[in-house]
Amino acid sequence: MNNDRADTRMNPQTATAPRIGVFDSGLGGLSVLRSLCRLRDDARFVYVADSGHAPYGDKPVDFIVARSLRVADFLVDQGVDMLVVACNTATAAAVKALRAAHPELPIVGVEPGIKPATQRTRNGRIGVLATEATLRSERFQLLAQAHADRIDLTLQPGVGLAAAIENHALDSATVRGCVERCCAPLRLAGVDTVVLGCTHYPLVADLIASQFGEDVALVDTSEAIARRTLDLRPLGQALGTGVDTRLQLWSSGDPALLTAASQRWLGTSCLAQPLPGPWNRVDGA
């Protein structure tokens, strides 16, 4: 029997507290988890950073689907009653497969905020900074057609940016150089709104903003995703505890990196644990 599930049932203080699983290809999903923690003080969270296989953005679709299914299976085994796919690339490639595999589980995905961007733009020029996999996905193409048919969209692949954020200090020359390279074409296009189409990118929003003038707005959907999660899962009984006691962190890469990142972005001292071996493999072997 899963001990965490048993504890939740027996403790009257946590009996109605939702247990929400959140995963990303790495550290980027912490931007979504931060919004969730702020909005949902009644919930427990289990977060998986699949950093050992990051970034997803330059991987084949079959690989992304296989990893997403494997991580989702782990989260279900931890007793979550809801899943947040806090990764644009994984949502675009795998959310259908995830819903087919777990039809009993409410699943929330993320997608680039094109619709809110069309409401904010003044000159009709919007830049979308996202991974190559997200930009070429059918899901993204349908999203753009639905909300931006009369908008001048500049699609900019963030080549190497998620990996730089994952593997280097956020104020490092590597990250700064990558941000500058990715933002230069958007400046030349004269966009007045930039969609952050990868959950890693809000972690360097200040650096991205510095590449543009004050009149250029950045669109980050992290809080909107958190509110969507709230809509799907009714409020439970407030736990009355801090984030540390409500959070489990797991990583398929170096747990120390996830621990440090969560300390910075969530203000928690929770120690990340290594993702167990069976869930670290890509195939079913």
* φ, ψ (nearest 5 deg) of residue 101: -75, -30
Number of other residues whose CB lies within 10 A of the CB of residue 59: 20
Residue 106 region by backbone torsions, left for phi larger than 0, else alpha for psi between -120 and 50, else beta: beta
Q: Say what angle helices 138-147 and 88-101 make with each other, to 10 degrees.
A: 110
**Using the 8-state DSSP alphabet, how is residue 25 labeled?**
S
Sequential DSSP letters for 96-114 = HHHHHH-TTS-EEE----H
Q: Please tell me the distance from the alpha carbon of residue 228 to that of residue 226, in angstroms, as a whole number.
A: 5
What radius of gyration, in Å, describes the C-alpha atoms of the chain? Answer: 18
Residue 25 counted as an annotated binding residue: yes
**182 is annotated as an active-site residue:** no
Residue 24 counted as an annotated binding residue: yes
Q: Please tell me the distance from the alpha carbon of residue 247 to that of residue 204, in angstroms, as a whole number.
A: 24
**37 is annotated as an active-site residue:** no
Which residues sit opposite 85 in a β-bridge?
23, 109
Query: Which residues have C-beta within 8 Å of that of residue 211, sequence separation ≥ 6?
Result: 179, 180, 183, 184, 186, 187
Catalytic one of 87, 182, 183, 270: 87
CA 70, chain centre distance (Å): 17
Catalytic one of 37, 182, 183, 198: 198
Cis, peptide link before residue 55, omega less than 30° from 0? yes
Could you tell me how many residues make up the chain? 285
Which H/E stretch holds residue 125? strand 125-130
Identify the three-state secondary structure at position 183: helix
Residue 201 counted as an annotated binding residue: no
Q: Which residues are annotated as a binding site?
A: 24-25, 56-57, 88-89, 199-200
**Residues flagged as binding site for substrate:** 24-25, 56-57, 88-89, 199-200
Where in the sequence numbering do the catalytic residues fall? Answer: 87, 198
